[in-house]
Structure 1
Amino acid sequence: MIQAFEFSPFQENTYVIADETSGDAIVIDPGCYEQAEKEALSQFLDARKLTLKYILLTHAHLDHVFGLAYLKRRYKVPAYLHEREQVIYADVPTRCALYGLRGYEHSEIDAWLKEGDQFRIGGLTLDVLFTPGHAPGHVAFVNHADRYIVGGDVLFRGSVGRTDFPYCNHSDLLNSIRTKFFTLPDDYTVYAGHMDPTTIGHEKRTNPFVKIT
């Protein structure tokens, strides 16, 4: 099971992935900022009696980590991020202050993840792909059994991730799309960090920002 929530003024997609047999769950990119958003996420988990095991971050831009401290405190679970995101994550409090976002609470990262790592809950496995460009330590999570990728801010429906932020690299972004996303089968669903889901095949055929040569 995968369930999306759209949170914060940034309209960021937070995902709950659960193995319905075991009742274990993963949250990817907890972007819940307002207290009501945080409670909506926890109520979803609690009402279904899901046991949160991991918090996984595709990258450390502020809109993807707003709710991290809340989830860690409530559920006592570890948070994982790529090591190359350290400088971006450390800067989140400053960025929030610039945006006037006074409700942000910073939290520690418990462990670094890397390409090739796997996260298992019950019979469900997520494989980690290293997908830099939008951020230097950006990663994506693939569920091959259910044929989808939780891709963060790399590939969107009809668009791609921004590369005008500090530490972005447009060439790396396009390379990540071509070598990590577009090598997946066409029927894989892309659950992105913003906007509606799409498929690999649809973006190969129609995305104007990525030309396949």
Structure 2
Amino acid sequence: MKVTCLTFNQFQENTYLLYDDTKECVVIDPGCYEKHEQQQLKNYIEQNNLKVVRLLNTHCHIDHVLGNKFVADTYNVPLEIHKDDLQTLRSVPAYAPVYGFPMYQEILPEAYLKEGDTIKFGNTELQVIFAPGHAPGHVVFYNELKKICIGGDVLFQQSIGRTDLPGGDFDTLIQSIKTKLFTLPDEVTVYPGHGPETTIGYEKKYNPFLR
């Protein structure tokens, strides 16, 4: 499995494309809003002969969902989120103009993810892990074979997700990290929603929020 990160919008949000030798691809948290960002995503998919088969959100804050409709419409794939983040998604149109995204187009999920689900594409499988705290319905996606975790805004390099947004809770987030992420092997690479990748072992040792 290959992981490609494209960084979009004013929040410097990491959009991930995961694919394997079959060329089947999942798009996670598309943050592409501007036309040139959408074209960048499209160009990468075309240049690598990828077939988009799933559209997934780790959670539904505005910076992670700006490109949902573009991906869904362009590649004819339904949006999949955790049900507990539906209200988070539904709230986006009300505040999008204030954040400088007046052309945001809403799309609602056609399927829901839950703890323990397996996302299959090509010869690859991702495990869905429920990790709330930053957002009520936050999930992460874990590939055991390659020891890769697409972590959204739960855990960052020497930091954690903010908990001052609606539905956020600091204690819940810390519990999610300790019981859901820190139980993964130390060598697991975490690809976060912002900033550079890190590893579980590194964060156990150096993250000031989790010592």
Structure 2-normalised TM-score?
A: 0.98
Partner of 1:155: 155
Segment of structure 1 superposing worse, 100-109 or 123-132: 100-109
3-state SS, counterpart of residue 86 of structure 1: helix
Q: What are the residue-to-residue correspondences of 1:79-158 with 2, within 5 Å?
A: 79-158=79-158
Q: CA deviation at 1:146?
A: 0.7
The aligned amino acid for 1:7 is F
Q: What are the residue-to-residue correspondences of 1:1-213 with 2, within 5 Å?
A: 1-20=2-21, 22-211=22-211
Aligned length: 210
3-state SS, counterpart of residue 17 of structure 1: strand
Segment of structure 1 superposing worse, 153-162 or 99-108: 99-108
| Shift in CA distance, 122/100, structure 1 to aligned 2, threshold 3 Å | closer
The aligned amino acid for 2:3 is I
Distance 1:86 1:98 in 2: 21
3-state SS, counterpart of residue 96 of structure 2: helix
Segments ≥4 residues shifted beyond 2 Å: none
Residue by residue, what CA displacement relative to the aligned partner does 1:164-196 show, whole Å, maximum 9, x if unpaired? 001101111000100011001100000000000
Q: CA deviation at 1:49?
A: 1.1
Distance 1:131 1:154 in 2: 7
Distance 1:140 1:151 in 2: 5
Distance 1:103 1:158 in 2: 34
Distance 2:100 2:143 in 1: 37
Structure 1 unaligned runs (5+)?
none
Distance 1:82 1:95 in 2: 21
Structure 2 unaligned runs (5+)?
none
Distance 1:68 1:35 in 2: 13
Distance 1:177 1:54 in 2: 26
The aligned amino acid for 2:76 is K
Distance 2:95 2:153 in 1: 18
Residue by residue, what CA displacement relative to the aligned partner does 1:24-64 show, whole Å, maximum 9, x if unpaired? 00000001111101110011111111110001100000000
The aligned amino acid for 2:92 is V
Distance 1:90 1:207 in 2: 33
RMSD: 0.7
Q: CA deviation at 1:94?
A: 1.0
Distance 2:46 2:103 in 1: 24
Structure 1-normalised TM-score?
A: 0.97
Q: CA deviation at 1:106?
A: 0.8
Distance 2:74 2:123 in 1: 25
The aligned amino acid for 2:162 is R
